[in-house]
């Protein structure tokens, strides 16, 4: 449906306008800036809830469509719309940012205008992520896909808490800018291709329709090259092994709330881009490169889990678990089965919730103790039982314990993978054992046993911190038991994607004694 109220424009303009308002506040108004940032993020959440509630999962594929001319000479338009996949990621973003505002309530307070800058940059990242998720114009998507790097760079380098924050911020920026430059060449190439065959356009829907109907008569080699340009940028953003090297440093050096904003929100634009742009613009190339990407994804799954086991830094360990989880998400996308893609989209949501919970609780603990070294902890559950208990639930969610939200998504990814690549699924299952090792061992070393020297004065969760953690734990429990409302939004969009790329779920095979495999 075409929306009469510009809900999607409101979705990204409200946080951007809030960022401008807050950065212009005088230096003494730090407390007002914090409350204003929280209020703006809650207003965005209200808009996101309206969009989600009014979204008709059985209706048109793209809804709340807004279409205005932007750069007519290049066929670029201000075109917005959401499908079920975009809706759930929009809602995830809108849910997390108010919680991150509360979690980072005191971040930036050491500088006279630090809180204003910190809050404004956070809202700017939210704004750019949201317009990237709702854009239906390739050029519009690219502009904000790249622009979000700038505020995140300043959040890491300007408000990071470690001595290596400047290096981590530069590393983050250079990796992602390089990927973006390669993607820019692919975006230009895509426009040249469309200009030769359908008149030149950046409208995602028009290009996909031309690809599906065969009107975009382009040599397969050209399409493969363009696919690699898009995929390279998304693989860095996600990140996919071996393009992950920037993530651990950035996650460790950034404030915990910023690290969650990066891993749970911003990086999802990479996997979302794979699902929307790589698969639907270049279905033939996606199928051609599918085996290679599946192999890289399963390597990432195992690699992230193995490296996490050997970490001595709490935050670096959690960062490597995200590399493993992103491997699962990308695996589910590129096995090109309905279970795999539904599981991957649900995994994006569940990973955002579980990573936010475990990273923020660890951040609260580190702020009390002043060290990230695992060896400095021990016996925390004795002095801070609520903190330890919520950390345990978040850790169990991270290792995909049945009954908690990530289990359903990981199970769907493995089922979808097994139906096409059973050996890859077998390797993926090993990550379940490895994740149990690194998370339960982490909990044992930090939370159990006698209270180590220096940990006696660790306080339990304060009301503000409990207000951050409680909704995350509740969502992990609810979605672990009843994921149907989210899957009802996701599944029709996945069906449309599978239809667009011409893929079908493999038929099950049953071995009948004496007759061989039967379909």
CB 144, CB 135: distance < 8 Å: yes
- The pTM of the full predicted model, rounded to 2 decimals, is 0.90
CB 11, CB 51: distance < 8 Å: yes
Strands 63-71 and 76-82, how do they pair?
Answer: antiparallel
Residue 183 has pLDDT above 90, yes or no: yes
Find the mean pLDDT for residues 12-40. Answer: 92
pLDDT of res. 153? 92
- pLDDT tens by residue, 435-469: 888 888 888 888 888 888 888 888 888 999 999 99
pLDDT of res. 513? 52
Band (432; pLDDT cuts 50, 70, 90):
confident
Residue 370 has pLDDT above 90, yes or no: no
State what percent of residues in the chain have pLDDT above 90.
Answer: 46
- The residues, ordered by sequence, that sit 6+ positions from 504 with a Cβ below 8 Å of its Cβ are 498
Residue 11 has pLDDT above 90, yes or no: yes
Which residue from 438, 444, 493, 36 is spatially nearest to 275, judged by alpha carbons? Answer: 493
Find the mean pLDDT for residues 94-107. Answer: 90
For the chain, what is the mean pLDDT? 88
313 CB burial (10 A radius; 0-12, 13-18, 19+): middle
CB 70, CB 140: distance < 8 Å: yes
pLDDT of res. 113? 66
Where do we find the tokens 């609520």? Answer: 386
Find the mean pLDDT for residues 167-190. Answer: 91
Band (512; pLDDT cuts 50, 70, 90):
low
Band (96; pLDDT cuts 50, 70, 90):
very high
Residue 353 has pLDDT above 90, yes or no: yes
Residue 4 has pLDDT above 80, yes or no: no
CB 369, CB 446: distance < 8 Å: no
- pLDDT tens by residue, 236-249: 998 888 888 888 88
- The residues, ordered by sequence, that sit 6+ positions from 492 with a Cβ below 8 Å of its Cβ are 57, 58, 61, 84
CB 361, CB 353: distance < 8 Å: no
Residue 510 has pLDDT above 60, yes or no: no
Find the mean pLDDT for residues 115-134. Answer: 94
- pLDDT tens by residue, 206-235: 888 888 877 877 788 888 999 999 999 999
CA-CA-CA-CA torsion sign (446, 452, 456, 458): negative
Most confident segment among 66-70, 131-135, 419-423: 131-135
Phi, psi of 80 (to 5 degrees): -120, 150
Q: How many CB atoms lie within 10 A of CB 350?
A: 30
For residue 66, the surrounding DSSP H or E stretch is: strand 63-71
Band (52; pLDDT cuts 50, 70, 90):
very high
Band (500; pLDDT cuts 50, 70, 90):
confident
Find the mean pLDDT for residues 133-145. Answer: 93
Band (112; pLDDT cuts 50, 70, 90):
low
Band (73; pLDDT cuts 50, 70, 90):
confident
Find the mean pLDDT for residues 52-66. Answer: 90
Find the mean pLDDT for residues 151-161. Answer: 87
For residues 36 and 41, give the distance between their C-alpha atoms in angstroms, rounded to a whole number.
9
For residues 35 and 389, give the distance between their C-alpha atoms in angstroms, rounded to a whole number.
29
Mark 198-225 as b/e (b = at least 16 C-beta within 10 Å): beebbbbbbbbebbeeeebebeeeebbe
Rg of the Cα atoms in the chain: 22
For residues 330 and 82, give the distance between their C-alpha atoms in angstroms, rounded to a whole number.
21
- pLDDT tens by residue, 381-398: 888 899 999 999 999 998
DSSP string across 207-220: HHHHHHHT-S---H
Find the mean pLDDT for residues 361-365. Answer: 90
């Amino acid at each position: 449906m075409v929306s009469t109220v510009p809900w999607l424009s409101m979705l990204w303009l409200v946080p951007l306008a809030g960022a401008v308002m807050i950065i212009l506040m005088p230096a003494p108004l730090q407390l007002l800036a914090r409350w204003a940032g929280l209020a703006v993020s809650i207003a965005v959440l209200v808009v996101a809830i309206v969009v989600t509630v009014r979204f008709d999962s059985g209706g048109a594929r793209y809804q709340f469509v807004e279409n205005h001319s932007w750069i007519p000479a290049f066929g670029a338009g201000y075109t917005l719309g959401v499908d079920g996949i975009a809706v759930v990621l929009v809602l995830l973003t809108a849910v997390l940012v108010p919680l991150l505002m509360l979690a980072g309530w005191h971040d930036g307070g050491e500088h006279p205008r630090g809180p204003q800058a910190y809050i404004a940059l956070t809202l700017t990242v939210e704004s750019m992520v949201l317009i990237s998720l709702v854009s239906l114009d390739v050029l519009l998507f690219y502009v904000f896909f790249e622009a979000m790097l700038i505020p995140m760079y300043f959040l890491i380098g300007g408000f990071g808490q470690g001595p290596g924050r400047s290096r981590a911020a530069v590393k983050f920026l250079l990796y992602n800018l390089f990927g973006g430059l390669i993607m820019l060449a692919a975006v230009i190439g895509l426009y040249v291709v469309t200009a030769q065959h359908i008149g030149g356009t950046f409208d995602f829907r028009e290009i996909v329709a031309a690809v599906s109907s065969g009107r975009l008569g382009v040599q397969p080699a050209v399409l493969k090259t363009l696919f690699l340009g898009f995929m390279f940028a998304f693989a860095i953003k996600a990140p996919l092994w071996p393009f992950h090297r920037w993530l651990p440093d950035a996650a460790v050096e950034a404030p915990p709330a910023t690290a969650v904003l990066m891993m749970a929100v911003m990086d999802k634009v990479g996997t979302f881009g794979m699902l929307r742009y790589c698969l639907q613009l270049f279905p033939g190339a996606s199928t051609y490169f599918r085996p290679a990407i599946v192999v890289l994804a399963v390597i990432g799954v195992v690699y992230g889990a193995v490296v996490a086991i050997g970490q001595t830094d709490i935050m670096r360990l959690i960062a490597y678990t995200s590399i493993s989880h992103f491997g699962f998400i990308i695996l589910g996308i590129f096995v090109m089965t309905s279970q795999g893609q539904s599981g991957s989209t649900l995994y994006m949501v569940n990973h955002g919730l579980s990573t936010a919970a475990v990273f923020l609780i660890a951040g609260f603990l580190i702020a009390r103790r002043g060290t990230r070294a695992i060896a400095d902890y021990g016996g925390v559950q004795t002095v801070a039982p609520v903190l330890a208990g919520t950390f345990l639930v978040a850790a169990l969610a991270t290792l995909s314990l049945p009954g908690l939200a990530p289990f359903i998504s990981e199970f769907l990814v493995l089922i979808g993978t097994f139906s096409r690549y059973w050996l890859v699924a077998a390797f993926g299952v090993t990550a379940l054992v490895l994740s149990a090792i690194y998370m339960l061992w982490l909990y044992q070393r930090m939370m159990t046993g006698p209270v180590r020297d220096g940990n006696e004065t660790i306080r339990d969760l304060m009301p503000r911190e409990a207000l951050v953690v409680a909704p995350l734990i509740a969502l992990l429990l609810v979605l672990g038991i009843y994921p149907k409302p989210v899957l009802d939004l996701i599944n029709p969009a996945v069906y449309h994607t599978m239809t667009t790329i011409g893929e079908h779920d493999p038929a099950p095979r049953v071995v009948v004694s004496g007759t061989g495999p039967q379909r």
